[in-house]
Amino acid sequence: MIKNKRKLMLYILDSLAICTSITLALILKFGVNIPSSYFILFEKMIFGIILLKLFTYNKFDLYNTLWEYASIEELIQIVQSTVLANAIGIIYLYVKHIHISLSVLVLVLGIDIALIGGIRFSYRIFRRLKNNRSITIQGAEKSILVVGAGATADMITVQIKNNPSIYGKLIGYIDDDEKLYNTVIKGTKVLGNRYDIYSIVKRYNINEIILAIPTVSPKDKALILEECSKTNCKVKTVPGIQEIVDGQVSMSEVRDVEIEDLLGRDPINLNSFEISKELKDKVVLVTGGGGSIGSELCRQIANFHPKKLIIVDIYENNAYDIQMELNKKYNEKLDLSVIIASVRDKKNINRIFREFSPQIVFHAAAHKHVPLMETSPQEAIKNNSFGTRNVAEAADKYNVEKFILISTDKAVNPTNVMGASKKMCEMIAQSLNEKSKTKFVGVRFGNVLGSNGSVIPLFKKQILCGGPVTVTHKDIIRYFMTIPEASQLVLQSAAYAHGGEIFVLDMGEPVRILDLAENLVKLSGFKPYEEIEIEFTGLRPGEKLYEELLVDEEMITNETDNEKIFIGKSDTIDYSILTKRLDQLQKIIDKEDNVLLKEKIKELVPTYKNNEEVNNVFKPVLSKEITM
């Protein structure tokens, strides 16, 4: 109804404009002494001319365009339609044997363009004035600084200026190209480079910064965000170039800056040919396939066209989510089986291996939460150690080509049951490798950002609730990488595997958890310790201040073709001896004596120590911190 009223109004205004343009053209040509023949002509022909012009404008969609968003493209549309409409009008007059002065025709054309265009662009001007007045009245204006002055910034600018009541007011641009300094883009000036961000924010009272450079390198992005973080602005960013499918960016895609953006990690260089050769047309099984790492492994594996992908997980909700995601993406192009099963159930695990005959196994199923496993150590051993034993022995029995264990940096000099249980997993894999045709390897890495149980989602929830953000210790440090990064390197490690290796992923520099907490508070637009409090709660059971990726007796025995993957070699134990010790451990678990259980764990894992022993001698040394 509103749309029809708007079209009717435009028809009426255009009809008046056509009459006005002819009248003004005659006045400009003849002044007040207009020949009477023109009045007779005007009276007889005006109705037909109006109909012809309105018909032409309609064919050019001048009544369907959203003029509140009118730009140069719409102006071209108006000029083209008006020129054609006047040409048709001249033909109409010629057919009627009516001759009009050329100068009058030119004047009519010019005035037509001005009036027809003016009617439409005045709507946009009126709307912008109305929105600006609305913002001022409501006091809801945001002052925005856009970093970048390229094509992406241009797209963002159009949407901000067309919807100031939603997005705020664009104040200016930042760009490192000196040639752009002080130039004006769509009415807004380039105010300086990245090092001017702090002063510009102060001078213009900016409260939001949008990073609009999708092609920027991770390291440069981290450096720019470091400059942004010196302000108290809310910081947002556009998707990376690999996430932009059609080259178009909308404000709906602008997201909050994440910690991942600050780490400045270089993109992974994978040997896709080697990985494809390893996975294509193979039957691949992933345990814990619904978890953070497991589900990402499944996504990555699916890209390499396996013959069949089998997801095994005990938690049905996660398994269902990844099943729906993969089915939607690949439709019937991926042969996918999802099985709800526990790695503790040896009989069922053997049935799965017997039925599907997997060729490659990624074992990601594990309990990973350190404090919870300290209070339930028997669960950590049953699920992690004995679960791994079940899957690994099934892999050996059913002639799997490769078994890749997902391990953790907490297995190095473990100070908690979870870490010790994963060290046992490494021992099982390496010892089995000595007697099996299957190639058993482990891949060891630290914390992954955003995974289940990760500190980052916890911090975000705490900030959303207004704080406090809780950090266990001011000196605690961890290694971090993203979930896709870890998963891609696991697949690359699988391609390198010859059997018996512990692949160690380059985690970059260690990061202080307190820095992460402060940075997340700042990125959320708050001042740490003032608007959002940060509290120290003390180390939790089994938690140590730092994590290691190799112990003293382990050495980097070799480098791989990938600079982010190294090989560490540990001493192996005869598998028959290891199984006897594991059987003894099983009997202690059945007794439900946690004290005795931890003592037996120390016999199996000599490097297992109490966390106080390690933390008391630790002096944190960081070669690089994220400081903001």
Cβ partners under 8 Å of residue 329, min gap 6 = 302
β partners of residue 502: 442, 568
Active-site position among 410, 439, 544, 564: 410
Residue with tokens 């004035």: 129
Distinct helix (H) and strand (E) counts, the chain: 23, 22
Question: How far, in Å, CA of 385 to CA of 380, rounded?
Answer: 7
Query: Would you call 397 a catalytic residue per the annotation?
Result: no
**How would DSSP label each residue in 417-482?**
HHHHHHHHHHHHHHHHHTT-SSEEEEEE--EEET-TT-HHHHHHHHHHTT--EEES-TT-EE-EEE
Question: Are 55 and 63 in contact, with CB atoms under 8 Å apart?
Answer: no
Name the H helices within 497-574.
513-523
In this structure, the dihedral spanned by the alpha carbons of residues 512, 517, 520 and 524, taken in order and rounded to 10 degrees, is -160
Contact call for residues 365 and 319 (beta carbons, < 8 A): no
- Identify the DSSP state of 163: -
Rounded distance between C-alpha atoms, residue 59 and residue 52, angstroms:
11
Alpha helices in 139-210 (DSSP H): 151-162, 164-167, 197-204
Q: Are 294 and 365 in contact (CB under 8 A)?
A: yes
Side-chain-side CA neighbours of residue 115 (13 Å)? 23
CB-CB contact of 577 with 512 (8 Å)? no
- Three-class SS state of 89: helix
Please state, in angstroms and rounded to a whole number, the distance separating the CA atoms of residues 54 and 569: 82
Using a 10 angstrom Cβ sphere, with 0-12 exposed, 13-18 middle and 19 or more buried, the burial of residue 181 is middle
The closest alpha carbon to 428, from 493, 373, 486, 384, belongs to: 384
Q: Is residue 458 within 8 Å of residue 518, measured between CB atoms? A: no
- Tokens 């470091």 appear where? 226
Task: Name 506's Cβ contacts closer than 8 Å, sequence gap at least 6.
Answer: 563, 564, 565, 566
Measure the CA–CA gap between 545 and 618, rounded to whole angstroms. 7
Whether omega before 267 lies within 30 degrees of 0, making that bond cis, reads no
Q: What gap in Å lies between CA 317 and CA 68, rounded to an integer?
A: 46
- Which residues participate in catalysis according to the annotation? 410
